[in-house]
Amino acid sequence: MARVVRLALAPAEGLYRGIVAARGALYDAGVLPSRRPALPSISVGNLSVGGTGKTPVSAYVAARLREKGGLPAIVLRGYGGDEPLVHATLNPAIPVVVSPDRLQGVERARVLGADVAVLDDAFQHRRARRSADVVLLSAESWSDQRRLLPAGPWREPLRALRRATLAVVTRKAAGPVDASRVREAIRRAVPELPVVIVALQPGELRDSRGPGRAPLTDIVGRKVVAIAAIGDPDSFVRQLERAGAASVTPHVFPDHYEFSDADAQRLALSSSGADVVVCTLKDAVKLGPHWPAEAPRLWYVSQHTVVEQGGESLEGVLDALLAARSTY
């Protein structure tokens, strides 16, 4: 059945591929104009839809820029309403600007006092001419059959990495060998492109409605209910299983799902037999306000970015971005 669907979508995929190629050619030729943003800017994007870890990696990049003496702001479209809240939770001291127009968003960031901008999910937003482009590829979803939308999840073909400054292979439940396989495929396609490998690892348990914290080891040997409205829920479930949960019962919703009071009531009722109820930070910012006070505590975990290979390349890109401030 899946093969039949892919064949049926092949004409639409071909049309989409042609549109992407034509748009890229127009930007490359200067027919479609691009402008330099008001601040040195780095985009953290991808070639496919959902699940690569843009938000935690963008937050990591912003945090590193601040640690290096920069005054970063995060600029994003804010689709779904959850990502700005996630960034504000991960980096409370870093301004978050929501704007579908990245150029306007960077200008607003400048007015707020920022001297560099991190553009979350802006690789395809070519009207803003960034200083650097970091492109993420997920080891979990990697396939040698890279179908473009709507036949597959890819926004652009792999050769679009020629526009990138740096590629980052992310892994959550995938192993180091899987990540290395993606790295080698990137090197074959774009030999000169530096490649970084990062692990996205679940952190401690945090109370979605209060200051409570607990070590992730609290789920060892226990029955866990996992709630996920994210791009890659399977990896989240696998992470909890690998952390030692005796069982994980998933409740999966579409990415960026808007939880209601009724959803929260149903989830709380169905979780009554669990030892631990846990969701992602992305879900907690939307589900937490609806969670019944009398229900079992709703915990969340964040994904921590751990650079495993190629960290010097990433640090070099960030240093160059900060050095570019003198030219603005």
Residue 2's pLDDT band (boundaries 50, 70, 90)?
low
Do the first three CATH levels of 34-201+306-327 and 204-301 match, i.e. the same topology?
yes
- Summarised one tens digit per residue, pLDDT across range 227-277 is 999 999 999 999 999 999 999 999 999 999 999 999 999 999 999 999 999
> Percent of the chain scored above 70 by pLDDT?
98
CA 231 to CA 218: how far, in whole Å?
A: 26
Domain locations in the chain? 34-201+306-327, 204-301
What secondary structure, in 3-state letters, does the chain show?
A: CHHHHHHHHHHHHHHHHHHHHHHHHHHHCCCCCCECCCCCEEEEEECECCCCCHHHHHHHHHHHHHHCCCCEEEEECCCCCHHHHHHHHHCCCCCEEECCCHHHHHHHHHHCCCCEEEEECCCCCCCECCCEEEEEEECCCCCCCCCECCCCCECCCHHHHHHCCEEEEEECCCCHHHHHHHHHHHHHHCCCCCEEEEEEEECCEEECCCCCEECHHHHECCEEEEEECCCCHHHHHHHHHHCCECEEEEEECCCCCCCCHHHHHHHHHHCCCCCEEEEEHHHHHHHHHHCCCCCCCEEEECEEEEEEECHHHHHHHHHHHHHHHHHC
Note the pTM of the prediction, 2 decimals: 0.95
- Summarised one tens digit per residue, pLDDT across range 36-71 is 999 999 999 999 998 899 999 999 999 999 999 999
- Summarised one tens digit per residue, pLDDT across range 58-109 is 999 999 999 999 999 999 998 778 999 999 999 999 999 999 999 999 999 9
Sign of the Cα pseudo-torsion (280, 282, 288, 291, in order): negative
For the domain made up of 204-301, the CATH class stated in words is alpha beta
Whether 131 and 40 have beta carbons less than 8 Å apart is answered as yes
For the domain made up of 34-201+306-327, the CATH class stated in words is alpha beta
What mean pLDDT is reported for the chain?
A: 96
CA dihedral 86, 87, 91, 92 (to 10 degrees): -80
- Summarised one tens digit per residue, pLDDT across range 286-314 is 999 999 999 999 999 999 999 999 999 99
CA 273 to CA 241: how far, in whole Å?
A: 18
